Chains A and B, each alone.
Chain A
């Protein structure tokens, strides 16, 4: 079997210590002159790359290679609620077109729901070659069994090579269910996708809270699945004359049965959607008290920004939980994000590092936020913001006077 094999003759206290120092998971044990790899091993292979020579070898398995040519097409799962398509779908279509161009594959969309034929036509304008539509009343609401059965039916009939799914709550429930059915790879929350000539999808995602990027491939299974969060990629430009086609698909009715019954769907009251905001002013620990938020809100209002926060802002009860940016909060991708008094811990950075332009004000020059900010300002926000507000006001007054003068003339 594949795994790390230990060459016993080369093991001594010294080699053990060298290996233990390298292993990030503490997975070596050494008892009675016997070196063992414990269950803590995560197969990061650091010990093979950096450890003392000749002590460890990696034994590979001879696997029966699959014929990857049998699988054609990059498929995007059309995420929707009641026919309303989630914009992450278009972003994934944009990426799918880039990936498909490398290997000369078609771009497909898989759309399942009830009374969705019209919306299916619209997808063609984004440059999809074929939209496969399963239109049935039983698919009106998202229920895991019929949805995964339809997915399976599609895979059996079309045999796509890669499948991209939006990391919405539906996508995160559906993609793993289907990937497990095929015992194939699924990589969550990819931030970079590339295509190899041999059709292996290169999936890059942050690991360990965003401190490390991991490059993941599914070498010997198809289809290969990944999920991508909203606002990571960009939607393609609309075509004037789409050339793609909509294809209606059928599935046996008994495959749409489910033990689960949907009793009701309740629309949530729409609050402020942080992930839609184009300009965000985010505050962190650097803001000392709740009343200091006044100047922040004032500033945000001047530039039409939404005020958001890091976790302490929620814990202190200053903000609604919907306004938290980060791994345990929202992922945002505004055109401009101004981070005030935020150190830039990985949990926060993971939720905002795709922002188009990041300005950071922090009085600690070593704060990690400066590693991701496009514009770093080392200084005290309590000096900067009031000064800035003054400047904005002076400028407004000047403009007002100018207008008045003009009016007089």
Chain B
């Protein structure tokens, strides 16, 4: 059983703003972390490996700094890791990102199962998994909230559809995106950290390593969407405000609620 898990390094905080006068992005510190939703993808992979044997490889795309999250995946139990990093991958939207990841997965070999987290905390689109599956030509299931049966040929799993649950039998190769709470993720283990050599090997692949080396398909050039502008969100125009002790405020609140016919 060969499992690939896609992970991403995201900003440690989403505490960014736009300077209303200059329009410049203001970011509060630049620490980064592993996308928390990916922890559930990793945990699912480790459990399946424990049950069925095989290997877990982690894959990420980004600057060389993204090696940090791949290293973290080693401490949790990954067997191999790969970073797709090239200046020409920069400025990628969902299509270009998914295409690059799919190319990376092809290069790394035939996987039985690819697992993605539900979404990232920075992009927040939840679209990369399905687009990647399309580029690889394999079926996918999103919002997997439970794996009921895992065997040599495929998975029987539960897709969360808001008001109902769909139980699907999916043969390998396939891609799944897992909901948070599918399993409780493990922490990086100190024992494993000691067991993993000082610098475990992280394969870095660039554009020239891909089967498709046409740079028009990657990064900004391979992105059908363009960001025209960014701006601070509007706050509401009509506003009232009150200050004072409990009695004053309660009276004001009572007035508003009466006006809206709550009493």
A: residues with CB less than 8 A from B are 1-3, 22, 24, 26-27, 36-44, 46, 49-50, 61, 81, 141-145, 148, 168-170, 172-177, 179-181, 183-189, 202, 206-221, 258-268, 270, 279, 302-304, 327-328, 336, 346-347, 353, 357-359, 361, 365, 370-380, 382-388, 390-392, 395
Contacts and interface: CB of A to CB of B under 8 A. Distances in A.
Given A221-B224, A359-B256, A189 B168 contact: no
Given A177-B133, A208-B16, A39 B90 contact: yes
A185 B95 contact: yes
B124 A189 contact: yes
B237 to A, nearest CB: 9
A1 B227 contact: no
Interface string B21-46: 01111110010000000000000000
B134 A180 contact: yes
Interface residues of B, number: 104
Contacts of B94: 176, 179, 186, 188
A42 B90 contact: yes
Interface of B: 11, 14-18, 22-27, 30, 62-65, 85-91, 93-95, 98-99, 121-122, 124-135, 139-143, 156, 159-171, 174, 180, 215-216, 219-221, 223-233, 235-236, 238-254, 256-257, 260, 262-263
Tell me if B's interface is mostly helix, strand, loop or mixed.
mixed
Nearest to B165: A266
A36 B124 CA distance: 29
B179 to A, nearest CB: 9
8 contacts: A39-B87, A176-B94, A183-B99, A188-B125, A370-B241, A378-B241, A384-B253, A387-B249
Contacts of B167: 262-266
A170 B130 contact: no
Contacts of B236: 358, 372-374
A174 B161 CA distance: 13
Name the residue among B64, B221, B226, B248 with the largest chain A CB count within 10 angstroms.
Answer: B226
Contacts of B249: 361, 377, 379, 383-384, 387
B246 A379 contact: yes
A368 B216 CA distance: 43
A220 B132 CA distance: 21
A213 B232 contact: yes
Q: Which 8 A-B pairs have the closest CB atoms?
A: A383-B246, A43-B91, A209-B14, A387-B250, A40-B63, A185-B225, A180-B131, A24-B25
Nearest to B225: A185
A351 to B, nearest CB: 12
B250 A391 contact: yes
Nearest to B217: A183
A212 B17 contact: yes
Contacts of A38: 63-64, 87, 90
